[in-house]
Amino acid sequence: MATKTTFQKNIEVDMDSCEKLSFRKFTDGENTWESFKDQIFVADESHKCPVYVHRTPPCQGSCPSGEDIRGWLQILRGMEKPPAEMTWQEYAFHRSTDANPFPSMMGRVCPAPCEDGCNRNKVEEFVGINAAEQFIGDTAFDEGYKLAPVPSLTGKCVAIVGGGPAGLSAAYQLRRKGHGSVIFEMQSELGGMFRYGIPGYRTPRNILDREIDRIIELGGIIVKTGIRVGQEITIEQLEEDFDAVLWAIGCQSGRDLPIDGWSDTPNCVSGVKFLDAFNKGKLQTTAERVVCIGGGDTSIDVVSVAQRLGKISDLDKKKRPEQVIGGYVAHDSAIAAAREGAHVTLTALFKREDMTATDEEVNDALSEGVTVLNGVMPVELIKDDRGRARGLRMARCHVDNRGVPSPVEGTLFDIEADLIVSAIGQGGDLNGLEELGNERNLITADPLYQIPGRFGHFVAGDIIRPHLLTTAIGQAAVAAESINRYLAGEEIKRRPKVDVFSFDLLAKLNEQQLAPTDYDHTQAWGTSSADFAVHNYEDRSLHEIISSEDLFLAHFEKTPRYKRKSVGPGSEYVLGHFDERHSGLSEEEARAEAERCMSCGMCFECDNCVIYCPQDAVFRVKKDKYTTGRYVDTDYDRCIGCHICADVCPTGYIDMGMGE
């Protein structure tokens, strides 16, 4: 029989499940109150009274793009109201695109470190941030929303080399600051990894095109495709013609497997080139037995595409997949009618739970019939007498704390293969740009995304270090700010400790015509009733991320997540299936999911502090003074510093800090 114990307010808690009760304010044995008499009352003054403190939630702190996630979730749920002339849907779109101009794309493909950081994980399960973001982006697509108006051009123009997520994000952020740009893209279309590195059933091309077009429609952004800087245009020409240069060229080459004979074996190819050939429509079929070595999201894309393409019996040798991937030929789309199912295997160094690919993507691959082998490493290519690979010798492996694998003795086994794909990472292609490169064939950046030793040159995205799309977008935003200061002749300052887009109370007050009045800078007493300042509010969002330990988690009921519906095929139907995998949330579902957000670090108007204050010192502000972040105030003549309001605040918005 479970034992029980009684805490403050006679809350009964099942001790057998205490491990899950992360909301508990006290540990066992802390069952008596200390006397606050000496601290609370000093003559007629209270010791400490509430101050309302805005902090950054961990979802935003975990987002490499630095999105104001809590902000647009509050708009979805109806808590933060839009300006009178705007719908809440469009208002949420504008808030989300402050940091990221690709809500539809990133809502679909981002691995969502924000969800890993979500404090809701301490209650039951994270808020479905990706699904909500996809809803915002898809609604914008359906309704034809445009990006917010931008200022007039300053006359400054920046060369942006690379038209992928980083380059486009930089062009967008620079245009918002008034600067024009010219994007030089070596491919025939913009989009970078969105278009050439991810299959279209994950990033629908019509929506991708619209998200790119919105940026170009801002004006002052010129696009030049089919041009490779370093060959058709020199670095010196860019320096002469532009006020600054941003390098956002991404990583266009895949890493070879570190085994003998890889580079000169024709049917051993990189995942990057495999996906590039597929996304350009050249690769219409693969091989009977495909083996991909990886474990990350790129490798999942490779095996998922291979399952869909299948194989064709008796395919002309000149049309083998490696010939297409190498760029020598292209498949005729008519051959798709003869496709048959292929045998596709994914191998990974790590255990399933340690793979860098998201669980959702791995589950989809398994349901589509991909064989996944974990904890194994390739040790040798097995070749036929013509020099083509016919298999791969593998071994069980141990991975040390540096991520370096070593084979386990006596565990060798072979996998037959007709096409072997390496998806173990990407590298830079600096042909013609060698002077910019470092020893890793990448470009070095300082913390402000300047290139050390090259005045006026900046860099963002995978060419610094291959990482996530959201990382590239966030780096580009920081680089744009650095470029803006450089163009203005200002010192490029250190970035804040918590470098994200966040709620701005002053901007919100201005939007609602509640801005503080002018201050005459005279000293006076009793300023708590004055309207030239925001009283008892402190913004620490640039310095602090709020922890779950600072929340009152007992306030939140366990509420299941509203999940996107999966329409992905099973193994019987995957061949030739190129429809999108997941359908988005409905408006009702998106708003309900946004309701699960705990609004960490910002008041969400639950009234706990008003209800539980024993002195009626905490009160709601008058309706004509109310806005998000200014829902409650404190009468310090009544407050006795009992800190009950801070204890029952679910979001950690109240600190006992006033008066000391």
Q: What is the DSSP string of 453-490?
A: T-TTEEE-STTTS---HHHHHHHHHHHHHHHHHHHTT-
CATH architecture of 157-252+428-487: 3-Layer(bba) Sandwich (3.50)
Taking all residues of the chain, what is their mean pLDDT, rounded to a whole number? 91
d(CA 332, CA 281): 9
> CA–CA distance from 575 to each of 247, 248, 320, 368 (Å)?
39, 36, 18, 9
pLDDT for res 649: 95
Is a pLDDT exceeding 80 seen at residue 33? no
Sign of torsion over alpha carbons 295, 296, 299, 304: positive
Rounded average pLDDT over 222-249: 97
Least confident span in 43-47, 148-152, 357-361, 396-400 = 43-47
What residues contact residue 74 under an 8 Å CB cut-off, 6+ apart? Answer: 80, 594, 597, 599, 602, 604, 628
Sequence-ordered list of residues with C-beta below 8 angstroms from that of 303, at least 6 positions apart, any chain: 290, 292, 344, 345, 346, 365, 370
Is the model's pLDDT at 18 over the cut of 50? no
Lowest mean per-residue pLDDT among 41-55, 169-183, 443-457, 607-621: 41-55
Q: How far is CA 543 from CA 69, 197, 356, in A?
A: 17, 36, 29
pTM: 0.90
What is the pLDDT at residue 534? 79
- Alpha carbons 267 and 326: distance in angstroms, whole number: 10
pLDDT of 619 reads: 95
What is the pLDDT at residue 300? 96
Percent of the chain whose pLDDT exceeds 90:
80
Instruction: Tell me the CATH class for 254-425.
Output: alpha beta
Tell me if domain 157-252+428-487 and domain 254-425 are identical in fold: yes
Q: Which two tokens stand for residue 252?
A: 């266009």
Q: Where are the domains of the chain?
A: 50-144+502-655, 157-252+428-487, 254-425
Q: Cα separation of 355 and 362, whole Å?
A: 9
Q: Using alpha carbons only, what angle is made at residue 286 by residues 190 and 267, rounded to the nearest 5 degrees?
A: 95
What lies within 8 Å, CB to CB, of 361 at 6+ separation is 297, 300
Contact predicate 255/385, CB 8 Å: no
| 598 closest CA partner among 644, 548, 645, 539 | 548
Q: Where are the alpha helices (DSSP H) in 314-390?
A: 321-325, 359-367
Q: pLDDT per residue over 491-531, tens digit each?
A: 988 899 999 999 999 889 888 888 888 887 777 776 667 77
Q: What is the pLDDT of residue 533?
A: 78
Q: What is the structure's pLDDT at 26?
A: 53
pLDDT (mean) for 578-591: 92
- Distance CA(6)–CA(13), nearest Å, equals 7
* For residue 56, pLDDT beyond 90: yes
In the prediction, which pLDDT does 31 show? 58
- pLDDT at 393 exceeding the cut of 90: yes
Summarize the confidence of residues 442-452 as an average pLDDT.
97
Whether 265 has a pLDDT exceeding 70, the answer reads yes
Lowest-confidence range among 118-127, 216-225, 625-634, 651-660? 651-660
Phi-psi map region of 213: left, alpha, beta (phi>0 left; psi -120 to 50 alpha): alpha
- Range name among 48-62, 200-214, 259-273, 569-583 with the lowest pLDDT average: 569-583
Six-digit token pair at 493? 């300052």
Contact 249, 463 (CB under 8 A): yes
pLDDT band at 96 (very low <50, low <70, confident <90, very high): very high
